[in-house]
A and B are shown apart, each in its own frame.
Chain A
Amino acid sequence: MKQTSIYQQSLQQLLADHPYIEDFLTSFGLEVTPGPESLEEYLRGLDLDQLEDLGIDQARLRQSLDDFLTGMLALQEPHDRVDALTIIGGQDKSGQPEALEITLKPGQVICIVGPTGSGKSRLLADIEWVAQGDTPTGRRILINGEVPDSKWRFSTEHKLVAQLSQNMNFVMDLSAEEFIRMHAESRLVPDPEEKVRQILAQANELAGERFTPQTPVTSLSGGQSRALMIADMAFLSKSPIALIDEIENAGIDRKKALDLLVKEEKIILMATHDPILALMGDRRLVIKNGGIAKIIESSQAERINLKQLEELDNRLLALRNRIRAGETLEQL
């Protein structure tokens, strides 16, 4: 729908078709009642003193509404596909060139390894910023083989990257269901209820301990929160790239979590020191002194060892569960 025609429609029609317009107006403290009056007439009828009390004026309100509608219409447009993300090397902290070019594709998992402070975050930030030689590393990022539109940098609707940070706290006082619904609504997904159901079910699959839709997000355990956020990222985030900062020690099924994101055709970049996660990746980027020093392809031998590592991990997990159940470990 054209933006200009929105102004001529009756409030009754508009509020029914686009409830977010009501959200917009009420967020400025304005009251709005559905009726035959058009949006244009409504805006023209607003009292100047009332607007001043609310800290806005006609011109700015209209400008904001225009910008808001543009953003909302953009959110409903199909997303640009990202079929390839290319990192073209710059230089490390000492100015040594990073002579490399790597292309990542949807469905691939790439691990980033290196000591704390080596420059992992800067690499993740270069990708998020779609650097064009304008960051301290001088790296360049191409999307689908081209220099991308700068909209990726600033648009909140079309974010290139969704970042799952190590910290999983919630500060909002909402149940898991209310929280995911609010997120779904902010993304204007077509069937929010179905999405909420899907995400909660999937999160319960990933988490060791079950939680209900009514559980407040603030009382979810570390593992449950992480499971919820991974499911949320898989089903609600349109961002084609997922950056994950460590999934270890979280009490969730990490393999299932990665498989879920891979299935959603995301490019997954994961900073990790965990041998199991590192071997689950297709490749590992080794960061040293601010630069990508090496790229290691997971070898056949490593993949075979992965099985052993997983067995080891399962044994530890079983022991952890026994401790949780109040048993002793006198017999291993």
Chain B
Amino acid sequence: MRFLTVSGPPSSGKTSVILRVIEALQARQRKIGVVKFDCLLTEDDQRYAQKGVLVQKGLSGALCPDHYFVSNIESCVKWGMEHECEYLISESAGLCNRCSPHINEITAVCVIDNLSGINTPRKIGPMLKSADIVVITKGDIVSQAEREVFASRVKQVNPGAVIMHVNGITGQGAFELTSLFEEASDIATLKGKTLRFSMPSALCSYCLGETRIGEEHQTGNVRKMDI
């Protein structure tokens, strides 16, 4: 089974890009599964289901979404194998910009959009910097020069990645992206695999449900600003 992790900031167009790729894969009679990770709410699973794709939805609720991802992804891969998917795509939003669901030896895709601002590539951590493929969306809304400047900023922080422009609405570029999906690593399990980058360290009193503000309520991994 070919497995890929797709991530990117909220509203960058992840679902639309994946749906366009799925259409192209389905034209080649491939069986596809998608796992959608989100925090509070998502209806994207219905968009996938409408395409006739097997879908699993995971809502992290009160938990850190990327910790939730990493605790569940192995069973998701197992689920994909049991259902004999030829492709399994996980979709998650990197909410704090320091997280990344990317796994060593597993094709990692990051989706970001031209409207997110010229400094955004610098602000996104391992999710962008360690991706194998960076998909830039919403290119039809901006000028050619602006697309180029944005892509060069992406290239600066991830010079090794393949950078592609895809339009999630018209599908322009999706066919080409699909040919990269077809080269994704073929795996049977995630056993023994490692994340590409550590998660942010946590476990302070607030992780455990503390809500009161004040020095006396702060225990665990706490860091102070220099003021």
Contacts and interface: CB of A to CB of B under 8 A. Distances in A.
A42 interface: no
Interface in A233-266: 233, 236-237
B114 A171 contact: yes
Give chain B's interface residue range (CB within 8 Å of chain A).
Answer: 35 or more
B142 A63 contact: no
A47 interface: no
Contacts of A163: 144
B74 interface: no
Interface in A159-209: 162-165, 167-172, 179-180, 182-183, 186-187
Interface stretch (A64-72, A286-294, A303-311, A323-331): A64-72
Given A121-B170, A172-B118, A233-B144, A64 B175 contact: no
Given A55-B126, A156-B151, A179 B145 contact: yes
A46 interface: no
Interface in A199-237: 225, 229, 232-233, 236-237
Given A52-B198, A182-B149, A169 B143 contact: yes
Interface in B150-186: 151-153, 155-160, 162-164, 170, 172-173, 175-176, 179
B175 A135 contact: yes
A234 B174 CA distance: 28
A169 B142 contact: yes
Given A55-B126, A60-B129, A135-B175, A164 B159 contact: no
B122 interface: yes
A250 to B, nearest CB: 13
B98 interface: yes
B162 A183 contact: no
Nearest to A179: B145
Contact of B162 (A56, A154, A171, A233): A154
Nearest to B156: A27
Contacts of B129: 28, 55-56, 60, 64
Contacts of B100: 55
A236 B149 CA distance: 12
B159 A68 contact: yes
B121 to A, nearest CB: 7
A183 B144 CA distance: 10
B70 interface: no
A69 B204 CA distance: 41
B158 A229 contact: no
A312 interface: no
A29 B98 CA distance: 13
Contact of A28 (B152, B155, B157, B179): B157
A229 B156 CA distance: 23
B197 interface: yes
A57 interface: yes
B197 A55 contact: yes
B129 to A, nearest CB: 6
**7 residue pairs, one from A and one from B, having the closest CB atoms:** A55-B125, A67-B159, A186-B152, A68-B159, A67-B160, A27-B122, A183-B145
Given A71-B159, A165-B139, A169-B141, 20 more contacts: A55-B100, A55-B126, A55-B129, A55-B197, A56-B126, A68-B156, A71-B155, A125-B175, A134-B179, A154-B162, A154-B163, A156-B163, A163-B144, A167-B142, A169-B143, A170-B143, A179-B145, A187-B148, A232-B144, A232-B145
28 contacts: A24-B156, A28-B157, A29-B122, A55-B100, A55-B125, A55-B197, A63-B160, A64-B129, A64-B160, A71-B155, A121-B170, A134-B179, A156-B151, A156-B163, A162-B144, A163-B144, A165-B140, A167-B140, A167-B142, A169-B141, A169-B142, A169-B143, A172-B146, A187-B148, A225-B143, A229-B143, A232-B145, A233-B144
Interface of A: 23-24, 27-29, 52, 54-57, 60, 63-64, 67-68, 70-71, 121, 125, 129, 134-136, 153-154, 156, 162-165, 167-172, 179-180, 182-183, 186-187, 225, 229, 232-233, 236-237
